[in-house]
Amino acid sequence: KAGVTQTPRYLIKTRGQQVTLSCSPISGHRSVSWYQQTPGQGLQFLFEYFSETQRNKGNFPGRFSGRQFSNSRSEMNVSTLELGDSALYLCASSLTSGGHNEQFFGPGTRLTVL
Amino acid sequence: QQQVKQSPQSLIVQKGGIPIINCAYENTAFDYFPWYQQFPGKGPALLIAIRPDVSEKKEGRFTISFNKSAKQFSLHIMDSQPGDSATYFCAVYNQGGKLIFGQGTELSVKP
């Protein structure tokens, strides 16, 4: 069974640009969550999507947005990039939403903002 | 506001030693306590998890101890090996299914 895949694995952008990251969950998984990982702040929850609807949202500005498609694949978008957005962005999938469903993480997309 | 406090930030032990990583939480509504292991270049992977009605859980060389009254839980790694060198994160689930992570502990096991 293939794991969670994220594309691209590495990305370099400049301030003010926007970026779209993609996540393909494990087959059969319908929930996708996104996290930002930085050395200073650790792993922080961005948002969760289930059945194409945002179910949970973390404390991030509106520049961070996401969506989920009918095949459960998800994208997250960051507009007007800032230097502080440089981070590893992780996607995790689980069978369903809520409860204590195990989350399976992808390898992440390393975003560098210059 | 840090909802889960993890310590230490880094830990170095000799092969065969028993590293212990501690986490403390404030909100008694948290009801599930997993530990994740992350190797460089990889995403975190679930290692072991415990519910608050259990005081200890073992899986292989990994043990979680849980103290509900103190709102603390810890990870012990028995007979640690160099291959256990990784970053470990404690986490909590709230009843809404949101996963909140501790700051992480970088463990190095020396041969």
CB within 8 Å: B43 and A106: yes
Query: Any idea what DSSP says for residue A3?
Result: -
Nearest to B98 among A4, A45, A90 (CB): A45
Cβ-proximal residues to A82 (8 Å cutoff; 6+ apart), any chain: A15, A113
Which residue would you say has higher pLDDT here, A102 or A46?
A: A46
Kindly determine whether residue B42 and residue A107, on different chains, have CB atoms separated by under 8 Å. Answer: yes
Chain B: give the shortest CA distance to residue A96, in Å.
Answer: 10
Alpha-carbon distance A104 to nearest alpha carbon in chain B (angstroms): 7
CB–CB of A45 and B100 under 8 A? yes
Backbone region of residue B83 per phi and psi (left: phi > 0; alpha: psi in -120 to 50; beta: other values): alpha
Cα–Cα distances in Å, from A46 out to A39, A61, B57, B98? 16, 10, 30, 10
Cβ contact (<8 Å) for B104 and A42? yes
Q: Is residue B59 classed as helix, strand or coil in its secondary structure?
A: strand
Q: What is the pLDDT of residue B2?
A: 67
B103: its two tokens = 């700051």
**Which one of A9, A45, A103, A104 makes the best mutation probe of the B interface by having the most chain B beta carbons within 10 Å?**
A103
End-to-end CA, chain A: 37
Neighbours of A49 (CB within 10 A): 26
Q: What is the DSSP letter of B32?
A: B
Q: Which amino acid is at B77?
A: I
**Spatial distance between the Cα atoms of A49 and A56, rounded to a whole number of angstroms:** 7
pLDDT of residue A45: 92
By C-alpha distance, which of A62, B24, A25 is closest to A34?
A25
> What pLDDT is attached to residue B14?
97
8 Å CB contact of A107 and B45: no
CA distances, B62 to each of A57, B35, B46, B84 (Å): 32, 10, 12, 11
Rounded to whole angstroms, the Cα distance separating A82 from A80 reads 7
Inter-chain contact A48–B97, Cβ cutoff 8 Å? yes
* Positions in chain B short of pLDDT 50: none
Residues A14 and A114: beta-carbon distance below 8 Å = yes
d(CA A44, CA A47): 10
Tens digits of residue pLDDT in A65-103: 999 999 999 999 999 999 999 999 999 999 988 777 889
Contact A34, A43 (CB under 8 A): no
How far is the C-alpha of A106 from the C-alpha of A109, rounded, in Å?
9
Which residues of chain A have a CB within 8 Å of the CB of B45?
Answer: 104-105
CA distance A79 to chain B (A): 24
CB within 8 Å: A42 and B101: yes
Contact B98 A101 (CB under 8 A): no
**A25 reaches B (C-beta below 8 A):** no
